[in-house]
Amino acid sequence: MATPPALPPPPPFPAPRPWVPQAPGPPSWGWYPAWAALGAAGALALLAVFTPLFLLVPVLGLLGLFLVSRPRARGAAPALLCGLALPVLFVAWLNRDGPGEVCTVTPSSSSCVEEGNPWPWVAVATALILAGVAGSIAARRAAARARARHEAAPAHAIGAEVPPRR
């Protein structure tokens, strides 16, 4: 009985597929909470400069670099502003009984504390949230326009330079 012919050795790596340029699509909704969490944690870490929470800044920087390195995640970056609004809303909530002196009385004790006006905090948080939402809408619309331009381009011009509009 004859031995079968030897098979050639497999290539060391899989054969590369041809590169086809893709238009950037809108970010998936999963990236928005990631950016918002980064904004909220970053604001808290920077507000707590002299506490152990400040040690999170390098970790948050790495998380930010990770998010920036993902092309589909970059479009959700305006959600960072919504995350910055969360600590501001928390300060407004802490001052919800203000402005003025607020006293708490229990059967065994009483305490008074001076609280600030919560409405400026609410206004700043609302502005940050509206800016984040508006930026996200603008990013999604820009991605949709880029996708439409990409799909409308002839096949031979996909990798070519697109002339600017006049």
Domain ranges in the chain are 31-95+117-153
Instruction: List, for residues 41-53, the tens digit of each pLDDT value.
Output: 888 887 777 777 7
Residue whose tokens read 């998010």: 67
Residues 54-72: tens digit of each pLDDT: 788 888 889 889 888 887 7
Q: Is the pTM of this model over 0.75?
A: no
pLDDT of amino acid 161:
58
pLDDT given for residue 5 in this prediction: 75
The pLDDT tens digits of the residues spanning 97-134 come to 888 888 888 888 888 888 889 999 999 999 999 999 99
How far apart, in whole angstroms, are the C-alpha atoms of residue 126 and residue 106? 35
Q: Which residue has the higher pLDDT, 46 or 138?
A: 138
CA distance 60 to 15: 37
Amino acid 109 reads: S
DSSP assignments along 91-141, one per residue: HHHHTTT-SEEEEEE-SS-EEEEEE--SHHHHHHHHHHHHHHHHHHHHHHH
Residue entry with tokens 């939402």:
133
**How far is residue 136 CA from its own chain's centroid?**
10
